[in-house]
A = this chain, B = another copy of it.
């Protein structure tokens, strides 16, 4: 085999590859599975909780239908799993009809297909700032502009979102949809309050656009009351269903089966169907049947409850450790559910630059930069608490706090140094001036 020049075919690639970048979490994946490392980086649920025995049961239950499990399935998914999805959505408080459900290869594929169906180059998407990095990756292939509207503790700020939409309209930029993760957002852990959900729907009506509601974590609530989904609110109030709702089995069952869904009105689902045919023909029958079997025969709600108990304990461990170890200049969110805490460092710190140092100390996190389209977010870090046991979370946060403190000290040393330098230079300058004056 001849030696390979890595860039030999650079001239052949599509323009879009320039805008597509690899996610830090994905690049870190090999590192993260290194023994001894405490990874607060991934967005991994704890699949050990499911158990070998339960796995044996569901795979044995579908064995009599092996021929179907191993066969191609319908593009939109098997009827049996659509029934399960309707049940899950009902449990989340969103009424759904089986025929408005479309099965995807993880909710990630839903993001790709929505972007494929709606985005021409130069169209825009309004996202929370920060937003899910994987959504930015999916969208990037279709070359849209990304407009971030800022968030606070109550979610995206509607006034800011409206200003952004107005500005886009004036500039002749077509915003095709608003993308939001309303519950325990990735990366911030923030939940959008009910009033803002209504305001966001109002904006969508005013500007006649779609809302893509990505809700992977909605059922992972440890405290507080569940809020109505935008999809549910829209069904109550809207003249037409303008919410495209994305769900997934990754967090309430398992990501390894790669199964999610889109709930939307038929016209949109028809376009998504055609997109899915080109993308991967259909989702795995095997995965669909294992999930159907499990959700029909097992007490899935108890399992989610068990997960929530576990994640709550881990979140508490993280919040406690943050309070105990972090310098007072560091701030963080207090999520009522989900997988993530978002930490904000002093603005002069660069979490991306700091990562290798943390990894060398056997702790990983995701730097904030990847959650913004435009290079903002450098002084943030996303911390995952779902995958690691409480004592390791504690130890991990302690090490992180050390690393941050080192950097802060380095900075104040440098500042002192530079002040000294400046005063020395100042002295030298006055000296030279003095000497000049002495001429």
Contact = CB atoms under 8 A, between A and B. Distances in A.
A177 B11 CA distance: 12
Interface string A27-66: 0011000000000001110011011101110011001101
Interface in A128-144: 134, 137-142
A296 interface: no
A14 B275 CA distance: 12
Contacts of A75: 26, 29
A12 B118 contact: yes
Interface residues of A, number: 105
Interface string A278-296: 1111111111001000000
B271 A117 contact: no
A436 B106 CA distance: 78
The copy count of this chain in the complex is 2
A60 B15 CA distance: 46
B20 A48 contact: no
A255 B282 CA distance: 10
B59 A71 contact: no
Interface stretch (A238-246, A317-325, A326-334): A238-246
A116 interface: yes
A289 to B, nearest CB: 9
A270 to B, nearest CB: 8
A17 interface: yes
Nearest to A74: B29
Interface stretch (A261-269, A301-309, A341-349): A261-269
Contacts of A51: 66
Contacts of A26: 74-75, 273, 277, 281
Given A47-B70, A256-B72, A256-B284, A4 B52 contact: no
Nearest to A4: B265
B23 A277 contact: yes
Interface in A59-111: 59-60, 63-64, 66-75, 95, 105-106, 108-109, 111
A235 interface: yes
A279 B276 CA distance: 11
Interface in A336-375: none
A162 to B, nearest CB: 19
A50 B22 contact: no
Interface in A382-405: none
Closest 10 CB pairs of A and B: A70-B254, A59-B59, A55-B66, A47-B70, A256-B285, A137-B278, A70-B256, A138-B278, A6-B267, A48-B67
20 contacts: A2-B239, A4-B265, A5-B267, A6-B266, A12-B176, A12-B177, A26-B74, A43-B72, A47-B68, A52-B63, A59-B63, A70-B257, A105-B105, A106-B281, A108-B278, A109-B280, A112-B278, A280-B280, A286-B290, A287-B287
